[in-house]
Structure 1
Amino acid sequence: MTASSTRRTTATRSRLGAAGAIAVAGALLLTGCGDQTNGGKGSSSASGRTSSAPLFSKLPKTIQDKGVIQVGTNAEYAPMEYQEGGDIVGVDPDIAAALAKKLGVPFKFTSGSFDGLITSLNSGRYDVAISSITDTKARQQGLDDKGKKLGPGVDFVDYFTAGTAVYVQKGNPKKIGSVEDLCGQTAAVQHGTTYEQLLQKQSKACTDGGKKKITIESFDNDTEAQTRVKSGGAVAGVNDYPVAIDLARKADGGKAFEVVGEQVDAGPFGIAVNKDNKQLTSALEAAVSAIIQDGTYKKILDKWGAQSGAIDKAAVNGGK
């Protein structure tokens, strides 16, 4: 996301938000606020039926014929995905462009609300969702944070790993050292993320230990949460580690925020795919492995300063 708008978890987004919130059938469909096509078709025809790309034949025929992979995202999480000059840019769009070269069809990103992504994917509006989404068992199974079945769930092709981080005003006026120090304090977070779950879990630990609960202020987008911390209305915000680091480095020239403590609850980010589309899942897994093996993946992470999230090989449903 941008410096002013950094997803996603106890799965660890990180942004990566409450499994139930983004899996509930009937949730609002993503309202597009911007789109961007990443990658190319190589020598594929206009219909998408032929291509010299090495993994084109692995794609489902519907994708081959359509000639594009439609992607739902929430472009608010620099450096993972954010909007710049009308385009959606960042780690995830660059990875998608690299995957496109292997698969022979471009990825077209459309940005909207994070908590509607999985519902929109399962409704058929998108072929995949790529948005720093933490791969968790609950999301795979379509469960909420209490284990209630809310939807069919999704499969994930894991391509990155990240934990959750706490960020505060520059200078750390309340001397917060970790999420455990937030007992009795106010914290801001984006609604529907796994790091919102992290705060809820920690708040219960606070009260169980005889301390005051955390006052959790949840916002529809992360920009609002950041603004709340910047103004002093909340003593801290919680976000994906790479997003929090980027925010601290860039917001107001590095003068607005700082990250405290270490990242916690590290887990994989995954490309979400409808469970009925096993062939697309398999093709994406092969493509992620291919860009790791040929060095393209490392170059992308180096470009964005996201090396700490590198994985050695692709996996399907590796989250816990």
Structure 2
Amino acid sequence: MRSSSLISSPLRVLFAGALIAGVTACGSGVGSDTAGESAAGGSQSAIPDNASLISAIEPDEALAARLPAPVAQAKTVNVGSNVQSAPNNFYAADGTTPIGYEVDLAKAIGRKLGVDMAYQDMAFGSLITSLQSGRIDMTIAGMNDTKERQQQIDFVDYFSSGITIMVQKGNPEGITGPDALCGKNVAVVQGTSHQTFAAAQSEKCVQAGQPAVTVTATDSDTQNQNQLRTGRVAAILNDLPSAAYISRTAGDGNTFEVVPGPPIEGGPYGIGFAKTNAGLRDAVNEALGELISDGTYLQILQSWGVEQGALKESAINGA
């Protein structure tokens, strides 16, 4: 959620650090695009190994028989992604192996369909055109399924993201949700929709006769973590996957925690397909549906600590 207009009203904004133009990424509508966002403070030591879980998946021969001929013959799906956004997709310590919950989901889908997933790392802005040109077969890259994008490509929705509240370990301020932010100092990245939400919440607090939210706006998630770590703010607003990953890995999981609850202003991430590739889209949708039904999907999300974004069923163009 990196795109928004700025606001004031009863919101008190503290600008911490030099403000950098262009702190936005590719967000559109609800939810967020994670391209270009790294979960600072993460640790490779907390990375789960789901190889055994994935290898135990039984291939569905009936689904595999419905794959488009080029994919079935090659037994490979060319996957485009922007491999730099933990815990969605990022490189292992070797600098060459893509890992993340999206990577594990793609592997699980591939196992169900009896195909390999071959990753291509590319700029986020190139993903849609690469689908349309046939350079890649699908993309799974923390991309929002939006009505605007549905005019260009199709989606199979696999995750619900949105704004999440992160607090110090033990939640010393007792923050239980958005309404508990009244009178609190909250850190956001300058120019994001997190800041827009904080403004709206502040207005809501004032209208209810409660103190306004004080917002500390910085130019990076890393600065926000420093603010929270030192107690200068009571909470950080961040996207669900990043917040969950940071809380699990920073200080070996002893520094931060995510306030339980569904994502705020949530929206779906979608696996993208060219409009001309409905056969692969439908096969992936059914494979994902089977993984949701048998519990494999949730196990993968739980292993990465992002189960708050789990969907109950897959959907095509569900935004």
**TM-score normalised to structure 1 length:** 0.62
Alpha carbons of structure 1 residues 305 and 273: separation in structure 2 relative to 1, 3 Å = same
Question: Residue 217 of structure 1 aligns with which residue?
Answer: 218
Per the alignment, do residues 56 and 152 of structure 1 end up closer, same or farther by CA in structure 2, a change over 3 Å counting? same
Matched, 1:91 2:101: yes
The answer as to whether partners of 1:72 and 1:126 remain within 8 angstroms in 2 is no
Question: What is the letter of the counterpart of residue 78 of structure 2?
Answer: I
Letter in 2 for 1:129: T
* Aligned mates of 1:60, 1:8 — CA distance in 2: 36
Change in CA separation of 1:197 and 1:110 when aligned onto 2, cut-off 3 Å: farther
- CA distance in 2 between counterparts of 1:280 and 1:16 reads 28
In terms of mean alpha carbon deviation, does 55-64 or 228-237 score higher?
228-237
Q: Which residue of 1 aligns with 2:89?
A: 81
- Identify the match of residue 140 of structure 1 among 144, 147, 163: 147
2:141 to 125, 131, 147: 131
- Gap regions ≥5 residues in structure 1: 1-6, 30-37, 41-50, 143-150
Shift of 1:53: 4.9
Q: Is the 8 A contact 1:169 1:258 kept in 2?
A: yes
Write the mapping of 1:1-320 to structure 2, written as runs, cut at 5 A: 18-19=27-28, 53-64=61-72, 67-78=76-87, 80-86=88-94, 87-111=97-121, 117=124, 119-124=125-130, 126-135=136-145, 139-142=146-149, 152-170=151-169, 178-179=177-178, 181=181, 185=185, 187-189=187-189, 196-204=192-200, 206=202, 211=212, 214=215, 216-219=217-220, 226=225, 229-230=228-229, 236-241=235-240, 243-260=242-259, 262-263=261-262, 264-319=264-319
Whether the aligned pair in 2 keeps the contact of 1:158 and 1:271 (CA below 8 Å) is yes
Q: 1:200 to 1:307 in 2, by over 3 A?
A: closer
Distance 2:272 2:315 in 1: 12
Cα distance in 1 for partners of 2:60, 2:163 equals 40
CA drift at 1:161: 3.4
Asked which structure has the greater CA Rg, the reply is 2
Aligned 8 A contact 2:2 2:27 in 1? no
The one-letter code sitting in structure 1 at the alignment partner of 2:158 is: Y
CA RMSD of aligned residues (A): 4.6
| Whole-angstrom distance in 1 between the partners of 2:156 and 2:106 | 12
Q: Distance in 2 between matches of 1:108 and 1:310?
A: 25
The answer to whether the Cα contact below 8 Å between 1:17 and 1:197 also exists between their aligned partners in 2 is no
Q: Is the 8 A contact 1:183 1:214 kept in 2?
A: no
Indicate conservation of the 8 Å contact 1:189/1:237, yes or no.
no
* Cα distance between partner residues in 1 of 2:317 and 2:256: 34
How far does the alpha carbon of each residue in 1:152-196 deviate from its partner, in whole angstroms, 9 at most, with x for none?
A: 5432212233443111344668776644537895623498xxxx3
Compared CA separation, residues 88 and 307, structure 1 to 2 (3 A): same
Specify the SS of the correspondent of 2:318. Answer: coil
SS of corresponding position for 1:76: coil
Q: How many residues align?
A: 267
- Deviation (angstroms), 1:106: 1.8
**2:40 — aligned with what?**
none
Q: Sequence identity of aligned pairs in percent? A: 29
Q: Is this contact kept in 1: 2:83–2:98, CA < 8 A?
A: no
Partners of 1:162 and 1:101 lie apart in 2 by 25
Q: CA, structure 1 residues 317+167, in 2 after alignment: closer, same or farther (shift >3 Å)?
A: same
Secondary structure in structure 1 of the residue aligned to 2:118: strand
Question: Residue 206 of structure 1 contacts residue 214 of structure 1 at CA under 8 Å; is this kept in 2?
Answer: no
The 1:229–1:129 alpha-carbon spacing in structure 2 relative to 1, beyond 3 Å, is farther
Quote the residue 2:12 is aligned against: none
Q: 1:69 to 1:94 in 2, by over 3 A?
A: same
User: How far is 1:89 from its partner?
Assistant: 2.2
- Residues 307, 170 of structure 1: alpha-carbon distance in 2 compared, 3 angstrom cutoff: closer
Structure 2 unaligned segments of length 5 or more: list them: 5-23, 37-50
Contact 2:143 2:271 in 1 (8 A): yes
1:132–1:269 CA contact under 8 A, matched in 2? yes
